[in-house]
Amino acid sequence: MEIQQQFEQFLSQRGMKHTNERREIFRAILDMDAPFDVDKLLFYLKQQGEKTSKATIYRTLQLLLESGLLRTISLSPAAARDTLYSLCGKYRAYDHLVCTGCGKVRDIEKQQICLSCQTITKELGYKLESHSLRIFALCPECQAKGIKTC
């Protein structure tokens, strides 16, 4: 079953409508080429000429999370604004460098990380489904400015 049909079925089972706003938000999520935050999604929707509120986006994201079609990537456990979203299974790995000075996030894709995760899970008798890694460090720009965070 196609992912959009899965979402429609989830809404139907709950007695909810698949509104135009939900449909457009879902389409925008499908267009995202990397994990995204709410502001990036809202900006994209506005560029597409869609008029939707941040509250509607949050409600739709919550429905997608409950349906199991969307996952969160928390860059900081203390701040909701540091939460990224991604469709389950859309991106290969969920590894990020997070600057502790300016908060900039950089995706990293290193084969060694994937291999290490596979080795660890296999040794412990688990079957790897996905992984997520956050590395907190100072970016080169913050280092050059002499910023210290510890």
List pLDDT tens digits, range 19-75. 999 999 999 999 987 778 899 999 999 999 999 999 999 999 999 999 988 888 776
Question: Which residue segment(s) compose the domain that 47 sits in?
Answer: 1-90
pLDDT of residue 49: 94
Q: Are residues 137 and 81 in the same domain?
A: no
Q: How many CB atoms lie within 10 A of CB 139?
A: 19
pLDDT of residue 87: 83
CATH number of the domain residue 137 falls in: 3.30.1490.190
Q: What is the DSSP string of 70-131?
A: EEEEES-TT-GGGEEEEETTTSS-EEEEEETTT--EEE---HHHHHHHHHHHHHTT------
Query: How many domains does the chain fold into?
Result: 2
Q: What is the largest CA-CA distance in the chain?
A: 56
Contact 97, 133 (CB under 8 A): no
